[in-house]
Amino acid sequence: MTSFKHIDTKVIHSGEPSPRHDNAVVTPIYQSAMFVTAGEDDYHDLKYIRLNNTPNHDVLHARLAALENAEAGLVTASGMAAISTALITVLKSGDHLLIQDCVYGGTNDLLTDNFKEFGFEFDFIDESDPASWESKLKSNTKAIYVEAIANPMMSVPALKDVTDFAKSHQLVSMIDNTFTSPYNFRPAEWGFDLSIHSATKYLNGHSDIVAGAVIGRKDLVENVRRTLNHLGGTLDPHACFLLERGIKTLSLRIERQNASALTMARFLDEHGKINGVNYPGLVSSPDHERAKTYFDGFGGMLSFYVRGSADTAQQFMEHTRIPLMAPSLGGTET
Ligand SMILES: *Cc1c(COP(=O)(O)O)cnc(C)c1O
């Protein structure tokens, strides 16, 4: 398989089969639940949609790995399928997880509602204060988990400290890279073992599918795939096709979203009716230096304080003409 240097080329061509299937320029949708057996002796090698190994999966797996300069990639039925399956693979009953305080709501709910039943323990850590992590370590700590940019404060953890800490204590380092996308940050280059995405957001970018991804070390991604094969959170071929198509414009979209968000953050920061803006691209942001070290761009997400009461903020939201109030991000609408 050809490897490409630049991400603008990778988003289009990485992972394309050689030779092409029936010379098709675009990967066709293989709408076949199962494929005729060809002497496979491992269950996980049988060609079957749930086993995440159809031609539509294969292209995406290789493309995602290439985008983050990582060893392997895997797509899942949603971001939460990626997060839950990765955690269930890395942790065994009785293991302990260190996780950044204030994570994505769904992840937080998985910890607080389900972790105990699974026999997992966890403690929250202050992601910006590496000196405080050691005191939270336990003899059964197995992994450390952060988010590249945390919603809604847009804070950036001490990312290199996370992988250094993981290495010195033999922990698996995991990061939710949804908010940066592979265009702005590639966790494998900084030593992360597993990078996780809600591909519903920037990777697909068109608000028309729910999907997830796990990218990283080959041995770990293969273990996650085997767990996913059992749990069943597979991405269907049509959604694979849409995700592959969405990824083709990733660099164009992110470049523009980086630029638009920075322009908007600067505008709001100087506006008399705004009391402050959270955006790591602003020089005044407490995380700006850190973000500049790790990221090639600061993303399309920002938050700000409207001067007045909660009602004023609510009124503001109800009066925006272009942004829609809906629970997602990274699409083309705003
Ligand atoms: C949306 C989101 C998720 C969950 O992804 P789904 O595709 O909705 O399952 C996880 N992490 C972050 C940071 C998200 O924004």
Domains belonging to the chain, first-starting first, are: 7-247 (3.40.640.10), 251-318 (3.90.1150.10)
53 lines ligand 1 (CB under 6 A): no
Where do the H-state alpha helices sit in 91-173? 105-109, 116-118, 159-168
Distance (angstroms) between ligand 1 centre and the Cα of 224 equals: 18
Please state the rounded mean pLDDT for residues 244-255: 98
Distance (angstroms) between ligand 1 centre and the Cα of 79 equals: 5
299 lines ligand 1 (CB under 6 A): no
**C-beta neighbour count of 192 within 10 angstroms:** 28
181 lines ligand 1 (CB under 6 A): no
* Beta carbons of 238 and 29 less than 8 angstroms apart: yes
Closest atom of ligand 1 to 103 CA is 13
| Integer Cα distance of 167 and 7 in angstroms | 28
Residue 14 scores a pLDDT above 70: yes
Distance (angstroms) between ligand 1 centre and the Cα of 309 equals: 29
Percent with pLDDT over 90 in the chain: 98
Distance (angstroms) between ligand 1 centre and the Cα of 231 equals: 19
- Kindly report, residue by residue over 181-195, the tens digit of the pLDDT: 999 999 999 999 999
201 lines ligand 1 (CB under 6 A): yes
**C-beta neighbour count of 22 within 10 angstroms:** 6
| Integer Cα distance of 4 and 18 in angstroms | 14
Residue 37 scores a pLDDT above 70: yes
200 lines ligand 1 (CB under 6 A): yes
234 lines ligand 1 (CB under 6 A): no
Distance (angstroms) between ligand 1 centre and the Cα of 201 equals: 8
User: Which residue, by CA, sits nearest to atom 7 of ligand 1?
Assistant: 79
The least confident of 1-5, 40-44, 284-288 is 1-5
| Phi, psi (degrees; rounded to nearest 5) at 274 | -115, 135
| Phi, psi (degrees; rounded to nearest 5) at 137 | -65, 145
Burial class (CB in 10 A: 0-12, 13-18, 19+), 157: buried
Q: What is the pLDDT of residue 127?
A: 93
Whose structure tokens read 């991000």? 329
Amino acid at 139: S
Q: Which of 75, 78, 80, 111 to mutate to test the pocket of ligand 1 (most atoms within 8 A of CB)?
A: 80
Please state the rounded mean pLDDT for residues 172-176: 98
Q: Which of 83, 108, 109, 201 to mutate to test the pocket of ligand 1 (most atoms within 8 A of CB)?
A: 201
Three-state DSSP class for residue 194: strand
Distance (angstroms) between ligand 1 centre and the Cα of 104 equals: 7
Residue 1 scores a pLDDT above 70: no
Q: Please state the separation of Cα 97 from the chain's center in Å.
A: 19
Q: Which of 87, 151, 200, 303 to mutate to test the pocket of ligand 1 (most atoms within 8 A of CB)?
A: 200
| Integer Cα distance of 104 and 148 in angstroms | 11
Please state the rounded mean pLDDT for residues 17-34: 96
Dihedral over Cα of 268, 274, 279, 285: its sign? positive
Dihedral over Cα of 321, 324, 325, 328: its sign? negative
Please state the rounded mean pLDDT for residues 176-185: 98
Pairing of strands 212-216, 72-76: antiparallel
Q: What is the value of pTM for the model shown?
A: 0.97
Closest atom of ligand 1 to 210 CA is 7
Token pair recorded at residue 123: 């403690």
Of 86, 231, 108, which is closest to residue 173 (Cα–Cα)?
A: 86
Q: What is the pLDDT of residue 2?
A: 73
**Chain mean pLDDT for the chain:** 97
Distance (angstroms) between ligand 1 centre and the Cα of 43 equals: 30
Q: What is the pLDDT of residue 334?
A: 86
Percent with pLDDT over 70 in the chain: 100
* Beta carbons of 208 and 43 less than 8 angstroms apart: no
